[in-house]
Structures are given as structure tokens and as C-alpha cells.
Amino acid sequence: MSELPLTPLTRVRRHPERGSHDLELIYRILDEAYLCHVAFVYEGQPIVLPMAYVRVDDRLYLHGSSKNHMLNVLAQGAPACAEVTLLDGLVLARSQFSHSMNYRSVVVFGRAQVIAEASAKRAALAALCDRLAPGRSREARAPSESELKATLVLALPVHEASAKQRRGPALDDDEDLSSPCWAGVLPFTQSFAAPEPDAQLQPGTPLATSVRRLLEPRSRGAQGLE
């Protein structure tokens, strides 16, 4: 797959060797994480908010109430910046200074477009649902006309973006290597716990296939949840 073009915004200056504009890597990170943080500036005030998202092709879909302040500001063409981070480990060094984190992250710059056409909006909302548990949109009721009207869906293009990743051990100074302080990496993983059935489930309702699949170890690996 291709590389995204380098722009003044996406040139990684600090530790450039950790930066990348490889589209495959960028998509892989975007497809593994569950939440993003979206930043915008409103009347001179930077605001950053966490939200769910899904990547489909070269777009990140965001959704929320049609009264959502941030989405309405973005719908009017305000510049946005979205970021996604996967924490892979805590890097514990011999010196306080050299402590760090192993991670993979992506930063996307762009202006969002409103998805107004009903079938495109329904498809984006189904993709958002399937992002939580693949296949879930076929199990749960589709949005009604009024729910569709009450929801604003935006697409942020992944055309100006960068990835950055840190891997490996602590980078202690040579003079600290004789220290008795333990040093190393504490890998960090995320996993699902046992499902908690809703109190008002109809008696005998089996666990949804999408959830069962998500809990299978193979599926968790495929989802990148490790």
C-alpha cells in the first residue's frame, strides 16, 4: 500500500525514526483501537473530546446527537485533528528521566463532511455498530427514521495523517546500567471480561453470536485486542 504525502503538519520532527506515513500501518492502528480523541478550536479555545469511530476505506466516521456541539462545528468545515493511541507497554528505566511508554499512535488532520444521504448514513451507522462487535448490526434493530434524523454522521478523510510508534527497552544512560534498580518493559494488553447480561433480557435469550465471536481467543487476536 502507499505512503501518505508528507505535509508541514505531518512531518514527525521529534524522534522522526519512530514516525511513519505508511497507509497500511496507519489503517492497522486505526482498525485496532476503539476510541479516538477529536480536537477542534471553538472561538479560540482548543477543545478535545473522546469518541467512538470506525474507519471505512479512507474515511473515519464519527457520529453523535444532531445537537452535538463539536460535530456541528466540524460540519461547518472547521479544521479537525483526531488521534488514536494503543498503549503497548510501560517502559521502566533505572533513571526517572528515561521512563517511557511503548505505543502505536495515529494523528489525522482534516475537515469533516456531513453524511446526509439516508442510505450512506445508515451504512456508516451499521459500520460503527459492527466496529464494536463484528456482525452486531445484523443482530440489533436498525435506526428508525426519527433516530436517523436525531443523529449527525461525519466523515473525516484520512488523507493527511501520521503514525508514530515506540518499541523496545528502556534507554538508560551507560552510567546508570550498574544501578540496582529493576528496569524493563511491562507489556500492556486489553481484553474483555465475562459478559454481564442485561437485567431485562427476555428469558432464555442466548449470548449474541457477535459477542461470542469477540470472546473467542482467535477473534480477539484478529481484532488486535491481544
Ligand X SMILES: Cc1cc2nc3c(=O)[nH]c(=O)nc-3n(C[C@H](O)[C@H](O)[C@H](O)COP(=O)(O)OP(=O)(O)OC[C@H]3O[C@@H](n4cnc5c(N)ncnc54)[C@H](O)[C@@H]3O)c2cc1C
Binding site for ligand X (CB under 6 A): 9-10, 12-14, 85, 87, 101, 103, 105-107, 162-164
Give the residue with the Cβ less far from ligand X, 4 or 75. 4
CA distance linking residue 87 with residue 90, whole number of Å: 8
Tell the smallest beta-carbon distance from residue 22 to ligand X (Å).
12
Tell the smallest beta-carbon distance from residue 30 to ligand X (Å).
11
CA distance linking residue 222 with residue 214, whole number of Å: 9
Give the residue with the Cβ less far from ligand X, 20 or 151. 20
Strand partners, 79: 111
- The contacts of residue 153 (CB under 8 Å, 6+ apart) are 61, 62, 63, 114, 115, 121, 124, 125
Tell the smallest beta-carbon distance from residue 10 to ligand X (Å).
4
Nearest to residue 64, comparing CAs of 120, 108, 124?
124
Give the residue with the Cβ less far from ligand X, 87 or 170. 87
Tell the smallest beta-carbon distance from residue 155 to ligand X (Å).
20
Give the residue with the Cβ less far from ligand X, 36 or 107. 107
CA distance linking residue 128 with residue 56, whole number of Å: 10
CA distance linking residue 208 with residue 195, whole number of Å: 10
